[in-house]
Amino acid sequence: MRILGLDPGLATVGYGVLDCTEGALPVVRDYGIVSTSPKSSFPVRLAAIYEDIGSLFVTYRPELVAIEKLFFYRMGNTISVAQARGVVLLCAAQHAVHYVEFSPPQVKLALTGDGRADKQAMQLAVQRELELATLPRPDDAADALALALTSWFQRFATSGSAAAMPFSSNRRAITSATTRSGVEAPAVTPTVTGP
């Protein structure tokens, strides 16, 4: 299964493409960012995101998209992120690809066992799980890979095939609802939607 992870934003959209097979380590096909110029008008920036993300769909032909759920922690940019996210979802709909959504705490919990993990811990977890030689950068690309991984892990958690997962023993069970600090966090139950 090919999964396209997308971390939407107006300035940058992180993306990560994984090929996943049950019982094997996911293979990283590509990751990076799509960026827009702050000097461009808002509609031009959305059009650039649409074109660039659309080309990722054409190039990689994903079977599933994992996208970050809108999370209201920075009100200053929530509307622009929501609009960029809408463009990304439009691309998924136009290419008839289903998507799953995860909030940042869900992704952090799935990969580190701590729903409040910092960026460094997340990058290390992605590097470990995908056996990358270096930390994935920039941050938005690492986040997109984390979203794709979380989506893959969630498939095992719901299929009952968790024993077949060849991943690091450092990662906690995906269905756990408590972080290492004992603070309740949402279990990794994505919103699944599509065409």
How confident is the model over 108-147, as pLDDT tens digits?
A: 999 999 999 999 999 999 999 999 999 999 999 999 999 9
* CA–CA gap between residue 10 and residue 48 (Å, rounded): 10
Distance of CA 100 to the CA centre of its chain: 9
> Could you read off the pLDDT of 86-113 as tens digits, one per residue?
999 999 999 999 999 999 999 999 999 9
Which residue type sits at 6?
A: L
**CATH number of 95's domain:** 3.30.420.10
Indicate the SS3 state at residue 193.
strand
> Could you read off the pLDDT of 3-12 as tens digits, one per residue?
999 999 999 9
Q: Which residues are catalytic?
A: 7, 68, 140
| CA distances to 7, 70, 74 from 140, in Å | 6, 15, 16
> Could you read off the pLDDT of 60-81 as tens digits, one per residue?
999 999 999 987 655 567 889 9
Read off the tokens for 171: 């990662």
* CA–CA gap between residue 48 and residue 34 (Å, rounded): 9
Strand partners, 65: 4, 99
Q: Which residues are annotated as a binding site for Mg(2+)?
A: 7, 68, 140
φ, ψ for residue 168 (rounded to 5)? -55, 140
The beta-strand segments (E) located in the chain are 2-7, 12-19, 27-35, 64-68, 98-102, 191-193
Indicate the SS3 state at residue 24.
coil
Residues 145 and 31 sit within 8 Å (Cβ to Cβ): yes
| Residue-range definition of the domain harbouring residue 114 | 2-193
- pTM (predicted TM-score): 0.82
What's the domain count of the chain?
A: 1
Mean pLDDT taken over the chain:
84
Q: Which residues are annotated as a binding site?
A: 7, 68, 140
